[in-house]
Structure 1
């Protein structure tokens, strides 16, 4: 059953630059979607539209068949989606535990999740400023997974990680979709991530097409 849909979505920075062209696609709970495409193809732009950070030039983003503009973009961001950003968007003077707890639902203990993502007890007590880029990325992923929203939007979540950790995080995202019945949408260059997705999409010249089911 579809929970999320792009309905004839196009996006232009100006009249001469069409980044996305008439995209229509439905996303379901319980599945992992990987969106592939070259740099500059509009993958992050599409993720921003899905996350309610921007609005389409034409067309609509629907959540449970209702336009997210009518729902309210702020309400959509707070209640429906959680974003894993490339630049992490963490609070740098806080620890990993504090960052993840800010987003977590009340009954979630974020420490086991942070540890499963590869952070040590010492790293959990450091501020974000004292962590490496890869460690910060793990905190950003933990923060997103600790939320109680149905849709996870991830922008290159394994980009700064070693091969083993990347595989572990991909598995966690799979489990988040399949066991917790969430919709996980990943923008990635990684063929390994794409191979483990339920559905692979490619964004090329502004057009989104399915390449694997």
Structure 2
């Protein structure tokens, strides 16, 4: 039996929520407004919720006109609809190095929220002014999962990784000067971190970090919910 729906321009994975706990998420970049709207509408019909990432302003405007209950988070470039089936205990903490990293950090935070996570945000705490980061030591150590978003040399992930006993998900950003290589330098720095327990997603991939954090939270929720 087919587990996808052929819409002509795409094959929609309508069985994904049953397999993974979340519906298929729409990657808006490269799609037309009409395609994004059609997929969003079908996901909303089947699952009662939908998430569009890398949404253009035109996509967001059209979708929100058809679905007034949908919300457009402009800074994160995403449109989300519907509440998660469960809200997990504990928090996902999203840190970012500088103000320029906030769009990627917001993509991570909003994705995790859509998937059922309680999210805290602490922004502009890069290592160039490390006292800012250390003033939040308690909140950092109390979080279940920590997402660290940073450009430049990406050192923030290593510093945070050395402070906690929880999973740290590092997100390199394309914010930085020439030898930063559009995010390659912080990505390699994060991948070669000497702090144990730091995992790394792709450059500017806030969505992937938020999704991964929510998967960890879901596992904890399911384990603690067993009779």
Same fold, TM-score > 0.5, yes or no: no
Query: Could you say which structure has the higher helix fraction?
Result: 2
- Say which one has the larger Rg: 2
Q: Which has the higher contact order (CA 8 A, sep 6+)?
A: 1
